[in-house]
Structure 1
Amino acid sequence: MTAANPTLKDQIMQNPDTGRAPVTVIGLGLMGQALAGAFLREGHPTTVWNRTAAKAEHLVARGATFTDSVGDAVAASPLVVVCVSDYDAVHELLDPLGEVLDGRVVVNLTSGTSRVARETAEWAAKRGADYLDGAILAVPQAIGTADAIILYSGPRSAFDLHEPALRSLAAGTTYLGEDHGLSSLYDVAVLSLMWNILNGFLQAAALLGAAGVDAATFAPMAKTGIGIVADWVAAYAQQIDDGTYAALDSTIDTHVAAMEHLVHESEALGVNAELPRFIKALTDRAVAGGHGGSGYAAMIEQFRTPSEVRS
């Protein structure tokens, strides 16, 4: 306990009226409002702050406390959840607070990179605050439900202390480890997976659309295909970790031949062929590197090689 926060230890204790620890939410965009709403539903005394006070009105009507200053909002709770536009905005709001942050746990659910997350952790430590970086894998409407996943990385002790409150936000509350950058890395990794799946579906829909097949007609088969690939992930992951790439189904040489068909079909139908050409170019490199007889998991070597090395 510090002079700046004389009641911090008391704040961490459960509120005798609600049985829940108090929390503060900084930033009331759509996601911030959803976070604050979830805390309120679970009975946490919730303090909120936003530049535009009107965004807090419906939360105040439900029992939240709105403060006019960020400093007062931070001082109100031992757990401070920040969800704003970017890390620059985080620093703009919290940098001036100084010792008000001392002894508190700051959970930053703002999207960013692993480098900036680690830098922000160092910044928080200099101000006496424990820092958890987080990534939300959910839309605002899913917050507080079984469909929400939120990832956290940083000091285990800080996560354990506030895990009960954080579980108010997502059934899929997941602690990744001490490295503050892990949440951001997982976030972009999942985004990469999402975009690649969606781009593959859009390429396929464009091909079939050229033959008059509606995307809605194709969608059930696309879902089945995605499920089949999903079932391969565990075996591929084991091969990647082991560094051995046995051809469990077909070799990369076989995949290259099929990729040629995709490129030619796209060109013949007047569909953009940039994506399949790029995929085939990567695969050709794998063959040139001696992996023609390997399973497709050997393509990991191409993704591990920085672009500038190839150029």
Structure 2
Amino acid sequence: MTIKKMKTQAKRITVIGLGNMGAAIARLYLNKGYRVTVWNRSAEKAVAMQAEGAEIAGSPEAAVAASPVTIICVHNYSASNDALRHTAVEAVLNGKTLIQLSTGSPQDARDAENWLARFGAAYLDGAIQVAPEQMAQPDTTILLSGREETFQAQAELLAVLGGGNTYLGNNIGAAAAMDLATLSYVYGAYLGFLQGVLFVDSEQLDLDVYGKTVARMSASFGQFLQHQGKAIARQQFEVTQSPMSISLEAIDRIVDAAKTAGLHAALPELIAGLLHKATAAGYGNEELAALIKVLR
């Protein structure tokens, strides 16, 4: 079989958006023998990908028309809409599948699903939970939502991106909502980490040792958070692992120590305010998970 014939018979996919993540995605499919068509707003990135074997589309509509499945991975839904929501693209959508891996909200996903349905296209919304260099690993996590038959039809194609694909159901907004949830955890934890840096600096301790200590405790803390989530889901707030009263004492101690050392204390003060509010509401002798009742 000639190389030209092999290329013609290869599975086809289109990738729109060639930032760090989009380029990584295109490269993964090229390495798996797919015939990859690319389009990017700035042509120079597409030319660079062409050197690796990709085919360049001259327009978004040509890119979508070239393959049965298009993955779009751009900065956000605004950029995605700028690229796709044109009559020329709408004319080639019938029978196609679009997989959105751009950052957005649940409402963005619902709007996209409704728009694509009008033109006969299938849709999956997704959220990548790793950096580009962590793609295609056994534990690479990509959250996905949309019609189950669409997900099942694209399962093999999506497996190229990693082994941790998590299907969240027919609710098209689920992937974006879960992404917001995980990012909330990440940024909250990161701010806590930075607060810790202030304490480490104040006593001239080794930041590398601090980082290693946090890394070692992260696995067990993840198990603790999972336990707290189960308690909230079951609405069972009797003390099992961590009474709220202990956390209240701890956060007050952190606030006092920060003020004594002249450190920024806005974050621990915020947490202390919530815990004091929960205690005043009568939750002090319940599991720490009962704090959700204040947030709700």
In structure 1, give the amino acid aligned to 2:67. Answer: S
Could you report, residue by residue, the CA deviation over 1:219-270 in whole angstroms, capped at 9, with x for unpaired residues? 2222233333222123212211110112123421222122211110000011
**RMSD across aligned positions (CA):** 1.8
In structure 2, give the amino acid aligned to 1:210. Answer: S
> What does 1:64-213 correspond to in 2, within 5 Å?
64-96=54-86, 97-213=89-205
Contact preservation (8 Å) 1:138, 1:147: no
2:53 alignment partner in structure 1: 63
Flag the 1:42–1:18 CA change in 2: closer, same or farther, 3 A.
farther
Of stretches 217-226 and 185-194 in structure 1, the one that deviates more from structure 2 is 217-226
The alignment status of 1:281 with 2:294, answered yes or no, reads no
SS in 2 for 1:172: coil
In structure 1, give the amino acid aligned to 2:140. Answer: A
In structure 1, give the amino acid aligned to 2:164. Answer: G
In structure 2, give the amino acid aligned to 1:112. Answer: G
Q: Percent same amino acid among aligned pairs?
A: 33
2:252 alignment partner in structure 1: 260
- Measure the CA separation in 2 of the matches of 1:20 and 1:190: 36
1:30 alignment partner in structure 2: 20
Could you report, residue by residue, the CA deviation over 1:198-231 in whole angstroms, capped at 9, with x for unpaired residues? 2112111211210111211222222233333222
Of stretches 49-58 and 66-75 in structure 1, the one that deviates more from structure 2 is 49-58
How far does residue 85 in structure 1 lie from its aligned partner after superposition?
Answer: 2.1
Question: Please, what TM-score do these two structures have when normalized by structure 1?
Answer: 0.88
SS in 1 for 2:104: coil
In structure 1, give the amino acid aligned to 2:202. Answer: A
Contact preservation (8 Å) 1:110, 1:135: yes
Long gaps (5+) in structure 1: 1-14, 305-311
- Measure the CA separation in 2 of the matches of 1:221 and 1:214: 11
Flag the 1:161–1:210 CA change in 2: closer, same or farther, 3 A.
same
Contact preservation (8 Å) 2:73, 2:102: yes
Aligned residues: 290
Could you report, residue by residue, the CA deviation over 1:99-143 in whole angstroms, capped at 9, with x for unpaired residues? 211111111111011111111111111111111111011111222
How far does residue 271 in structure 1 lie from its aligned partner after superposition?
Answer: 0.9
Could you report, residue by residue, the CA deviation over 1:176-212 in whole angstroms, capped at 9, with x for unpaired residues? 1111111111111111111122211211121121011
Flag the 1:248–1:43 CA change in 2: closer, same or farther, 3 A.
same
Of stretches 223-232 and 125-134 in structure 1, the one that deviates more from structure 2 is 223-232
Q: Aligned to 2:213, which of 215, 221, 242?
A: 221
1:296 alignment partner in structure 2: 288
In structure 2, give the amino acid aligned to 1:242. Answer: R
- Measure the CA separation in 2 of the matches of 1:84 and 1:215: 35
1:7 alignment partner in structure 2: none
SS in 2 for 1:290: coil
- Measure the CA separation in 1 of the matches of 2:262 and 2:66: 61
- Measure the CA separation in 2 of the matches of 1:174 and 1:30: 22
Could you report, residue by residue, the CA deviation over 1:282-309 in whole angstroms, capped at 9, with x for unpaired residues? 11111122111101011111232xxxxx
> What does 1:213-252 correspond to in 2, within 5 Å?
213-252=205-244
How far does residue 18 in structure 1 lie from its aligned partner after superposition?
Answer: 8.1
Of stretches 111-120 and 86-95 in structure 1, the one that deviates more from structure 2 is 86-95
In structure 2, give the amino acid aligned to 1:145. Answer: Q
- Measure the CA separation in 1 of the matches of 2:241 and 2:101: 41
Contact preservation (8 Å) 2:16, 2:22: yes
SS in 2 for 1:106: strand
- Measure the CA separation in 2 of the matches of 1:194 and 1:72: 38
Contact preservation (8 Å) 1:148, 1:170: yes
1:309 alignment partner in structure 2: none
In structure 1, give the amino acid aligned to 2:34. Answer: H
SS in 2 for 1:223: helix
Long gaps (5+) in structure 2: none
Question: Please, what TM-score do these two structures have when normalized by structure 2?
Answer: 0.92
- Measure the CA separation in 2 of the matches of 1:253 and 1:190: 26
How far does residue 146 in structure 1 lie from its aligned partner after superposition?
Answer: 3.0
